A and B are shown apart, each in its own frame.
Chain A
């Protein structure tokens, strides 16, 4: 059965409902833009023009902070590179405006690529401080270089013309910039909701999980960083036109602070917020420049900085979500009041279910748990009707090796966690990997999936050596995993989590995402995600925030997410832990069905009885060494295994093992 066709048929989502917010917002903004030049005073018009110019780098910075989770303290550097390149191309090379503008944007993006490629490999503070350094380098370079006009800068180029009309006043210039801001807004909004945008917010929730689903975090971050610099460069282009002289001041650090402040005020990662922030900061700046010299006679220079510093600190401490958070809270309050008003006729109902979208956490049970009324019979009934299995891809004939691990070793200082493990996993089987606590199972697992690099040894998946590569490399080839400690994407709902599993099946990149040309693909994958959830009886909680699910169902959701990737090899790290009896039964049944459909499964499990019942072959690790490997029966009777599990006395141990199994 092809999921894609089915999804296309069932798709209820469409262009309008999905883009209503954006379209209405943009339309309203466009109306405001059209009116402003007729109503604003000349000083306000000046502020409005600069707000629009700075909105562009602010949008870029907001994408960087919201999506890539990184901050640039040198956004002004890219802004300056755009401005200088544009001005130089116009003045020294007499290029036509549009060409010079493209040059400005490209130059800024190239600079970002140069800094981003090395810096984005590192996590933490490095990008921020490297961009801060870049800001200084750019400022020093333009100040010292004859070509950039040293301290005087570049001037003497013409104003822009559109259809022969020179853009020579603030009103016209406002209209001149506005379309670019509007387009930039749409592109940025599209991007945040695109495949790449959703992947990046997943990375911010759990980098490991996202990478294990095939997300190449580094590449995406580099792209977003470059894009963000492109927005800054475009802003610089308009700045050069507007001020008619580009001097080293444009690269000054306080410009970067100003841009950062716009994003922080607007709300980290909110694109609309960044635009609103641009207007607020420009107004604030202008107001402070008038106000402070009035209060403190003789104050000159960048006096507005005092407001910037205060507002930055206060917003982060008191209102970390910025304006976006305020608007969201207010909107939620309004809709709740409306819902309350609608429910008024029956006051009893209001008291009970009036809280709208908030799931009730009364004694009836946690959200997402099966209704209390559902008896065990029903549950097993549903299980008996066998879960519909997602598509399984089998690139290797059954019995052929799909994963070959040889000499796999991990040392931490003097401690050998895993010591020379050799293991071949044939396609189409379930292999269990068991061992006592601390035997190195999860370490092994992490080396196979790329979460950690082995000290030595090789991991061949489908003939390709993948040891030491990032998790997304194996994931792209069809190796997917779940986690012992759940790695849930908590910023999205359940279906959003499973949708992320579809990442490797999608193709839309950042460009297609920005231009909104991936709607169909995205809906199709969301439909598949819903199908998988339905088949695993999680369909009723698809819309809940993933973090609100009870533990067992989060685990099932992770399995769904891994299956959504249509892997060739599924690695499950203690999938049974925390599941209820019926959930275990359902999962075991599903795994068998998947195996029969051709999927290869490796599971690390604590529950020996489960593994023995489920697996076609069992490998046993003890103290980092593989001590046994074979079919469940022979492993069960292997004296070494019994000793490893239960101490030195083999006979006693065997008895205990039996007891343990019976218990389970």
Chain B
């Protein structure tokens, strides 16, 4: 039983990372209909960046803040320099394009930080034990990041005028323009949100799960699996899906074999797409895009 709970805690904290990435993916997907393959690379970039800043002597919070801002700006820059440059952004083209971005980011990280995995120092706080289950403080930070960042983004979308306009611009670009949000601004904003959510996931997870140049792809893909559980539109369902995914992975790693852990997500992806392609929340006959 303790094992079970222990694995559940580990799964929840890992799932919160996937959840943040899923939120980022949905943000760009709803506005641009782009599944950003580079989403996970934002996380590694922020992780590796903050590690360098800490090594250079900056205090951890400052390093993290700089990393978050930089990656957010980088995401906007990618939108401006790459995504918005293509007039006819078909699905095929958007996949190739963001794959190109992802490959480029990975290569840059490889050249700057080398091929070794690196670790950010753990965030302050002490580990606690509840009924025999030990919870590392970093795991609480990870869950906390989901609550603050994910919840913040959710509130932004549902409560603020800009957030609502952003959602609207996904459905009705013309109507959104009338409300006062241009498609270009909406797109940049979506990429900023995606960049920030990705970066947040990267820094909180680095102390436990390390940062390595090539790790982003797998992370992003798991975020995508979670996003698919939310039908690529629902933040809430995606967050729930991400936490579930984290927990299932954790059980597989604990009870089956740790090597197979990373394959779980894709089996889930394929099964979900066969059974409920519209995601967990939508009616099955809703629009399939």
Contact = CB atoms under 8 A, between A and B. Distances in A.
Given A134-B266, A305-B110, A306-B104, A317 B96 contact: no
A312 B103 contact: yes
Given A125-B95, A133-B266, A313-B97, A306 B277 contact: no
B100 to A, nearest CB: 3
Contact of A309 (B93, B95, B107, B289): B107
Given A133-B269, A308-B107, A316 B93 contact: yes
Contact of A136 (B106, B218, B273): B218
Given A122-B273, A122-B288, A316-B93, 7 more contacts: A132-B37, A133-B221, A137-B263, A137-B266, A141-B263, A306-B110, A307-B107
B257 interface: yes
B263 A136 contact: yes
A204 B33 CA distance: 19
Interface residues of B, number: 46
A299 interface: yes
Given A125-B35, A144-B260, A309-B100, A300 B221 contact: no
Contacts of B106: 305, 309
Contacts of A126: 228, 273, 277
Nearest to B277: A122
A603 to B, nearest CB: 30
Interface stretch (B68-76, B84-92, B139-147): B84-92
Interface in B81-131: 82, 85-86, 91-93, 95-97, 99-108, 110-111, 114-115
A69 interface: yes
A141 B263 CA distance: 8
A293 B163 CA distance: 46
Nearest to A453: B285
Interface of A: 65, 69-71, 73, 115, 118-119, 121-126, 128-130, 132-134, 136-137, 140-141, 143-144, 253-254, 257, 260, 264, 268, 292, 296, 298-303, 305-313, 316-317, 320
Interface string B261-284: 011011101100110010000000
Given A129-B269, A309-B102, A316 B107 contact: no
A394 B164 CA distance: 57
A123 B232 CA distance: 13
Contacts of A141: 263
B217 interface: yes
A316 B97 contact: yes
A308 B92 contact: no
A140 B269 contact: no
Contacts of B111: 292, 296, 299, 303, 306
Contacts of B115: 300-301
A653 B221 CA distance: 63
Given A306-B104, A312-B96, A118 B274 contact: yes
Nearest to A305: B107
A20 to B, nearest CB: 31
A316 B266 contact: no
Given A141-B263, A309-B100, A317 B85 contact: yes
30 contacts: A71-B95, A118-B274, A123-B91, A123-B288, A124-B91, A124-B289, A125-B35, A128-B35, A130-B273, A132-B37, A132-B221, A140-B263, A144-B259, A260-B99, A301-B110, A303-B110, A303-B111, A305-B110, A308-B103, A309-B100, A309-B101, A309-B103, A309-B106, A312-B97, A312-B99, A312-B100, A312-B103, A313-B82, A313-B100, A320-B93
